[in-house]
Each structure stands twice: as structure tokens, then as C-alpha cells.
Amino acid sequence: MNWLWSNLDLVGELTLTHLALSVPAIILSFVISVPIGWVAHRYQWSRGVLLALCGLLYAIPSLALLIALPVVTGLRTTNPINLVIALTLYGIAVIVRTAADAFDAVEPDVRQSATAIGYSPAGRFWGVELPLAGPVLLSGLRVVIVSTVSLATIGAVIGVQSLGSLFTDGLQRNIQAEIVTGIVLTMALAIGLDWASVAIGRLLMPWWRPSAAVRRRTLERVERVDAA
């Protein structure tokens, strides 16, 4: 504990750095995955290829990617942008399938009714499909948040500062409190961002009642059992 009190400044700074690495990657992977997922949903022939390609991204060993990326970007290995790109790629791998599923989950009846009353294709995407895909998109985003925050620690190995630096530094200098602080803060950050995403989801989707939907499904099940 003494270690923590005497290094509060360092820990605070690393937490902010960690946020600065993960939040852009999370947002980028979300923004890039939504259109890819929509294309996979809309054009069934592209679905297999797109989902397989994006899934393959996750199979790239992270260290290899972090070493290879600077060659492609031309930036120094320790430049945080390389790490943000790597995290974004892994984020896309995690969320693209959910994004496709999210658009699949929009009820065909609602989509058809929107067309029938005079939504243009673009208006229907922004006004109907995207918001109704929201709950499933959010569930995918939550997985990306947790995985990205935890994966960002790997940067420490190639010299990009993050909460992961507390692991490497703690290991080298054999300070267990430092390692534990790194683990606890990484998890706390993931949980905090997860909560924030749910709060924003509730704000943007006031019609979304996850508990109500579950309750309704349970009720329907009870009715079916009664009927049987």
C-alpha cells in the first residue's frame, strides 16, 4: 500500500494514458464495424467472407502485430498510434459479427412497414434500422470495451506506456503492490467504461427496457406452459 500512496501521481497519469489508448480504439472499432456489419447483413453473399476475414484478425498474435505495424505505418515502434491501430483491429474482430446480427435482429415487419409508409432507404437506415439495432450493438460494444481495456496493457512490452507498465515495472523490480495496482485499475477501468456505455445506451434508447423484455418473454413462456 505504501508503494501506491507514494506513486499516486504515476498511477493517475498511467490511468489517463490507458484511457487515451483504449477509448479511441473502442470508438474506432465500433464506427468501422457498424457499416461492415450492415453490409454483411444486407448482402448475404458477402456475409461469410466479411465475417471470416474480420474473425481472422483476432488470430494474429498481438506481439507480432505490434512489431509488424510500424513497418506498415512508418511510425516508431513506441508510437502509441500503432497500439491504437492494433487495438482497433482486434476490436473489429470482436464486434463485426455482433453488428451483423444486430441488423438481422431488426424485425422484418418493422422494416417493411417503414418502407410502406414512405421512408427512403437512407432515412430508414438512420431512423429505423440503426436505432433498433442499438441494443445488440451495445452488447457487442460492451465486449469490445472490456477486451480492449485489458489488451491495451500489452503495449508495455513494446514500450508504450499504459497501466500495463505497472506489470512490467513491478515484475522487474519485484514490487507486488505495483502489479496488483495495475490489475485492479485495469479491471476498474473496464467496468467503469462498461457502466458508462450502458448509461449512454439508456439515454439514447429510452424505449429500451432490457428487464421489461426479459419479463415479457418469461410471461409468454408461462402462458405457453399454462396453455399446454
Partner 1 sequence: MIEFRGVTKQFPDGTVAVAGVDIVVPPRKTTVFVGSSGSGKTTLLRMINRMVDPTGGQVLIDGTDVATLEPVALRRSIGYVMQNSGLLPHRKVIDNVATVPMLRGEKKAAAHARALELLDTVGLDRSLADKYPSQLSGGQQQRVGVARGLAVDPNILLMDEPFGAVDPIVRSELQQELLRLQGELGKTVVFVTHDIDEAFLLGDQVVIMQQGGQISQAASPAEILANPADDFVADFVGANRGKRALHVTEVDGRRLVVDGDGRPAGVLAS
Contact residues: partner 1, CB under 8 A: 107, 109-110, 112-120, 123, 128, 131-132, 134, 205, 207-209, 212, 216
The beta strand positions in the chain, using DSSP E, are none
* Closest separation in Å from C-beta 140 to partner 1: 18
Q: Which is nearer to partner 1, 72 or 110 (CB)?
A: 110
Amino acid at 97: R
Other C-beta atoms lying within 10 Å of the C-beta of residue 3: 15
Measured distance CA(124)–CA(139) in Å, rounded: 22
Other C-beta atoms lying within 10 Å of the C-beta of residue 11: 18
Residue 4, CA atoms < 13 Å, CB-side half-sphere: 10
Q: Which is nearer to partner 1, 4 or 111 (CB)?
A: 111
Q: Which is nearer to partner 1, 61 or 206 (CB)?
A: 206
Q: Do 147 and 90 contact (CB within 8 A), yes or no? A: yes
Number of helical H runs and strand E runs in the chain: 11, 0
* Closest separation in Å from C-beta 72 to partner 1: 41
* Closest separation in Å from C-beta 203 to partner 1: 14
* Closest separation in Å from C-beta 117 to partner 1: 5
Q: Which is nearer to partner 1, 122 or 228 (CB)?
A: 122
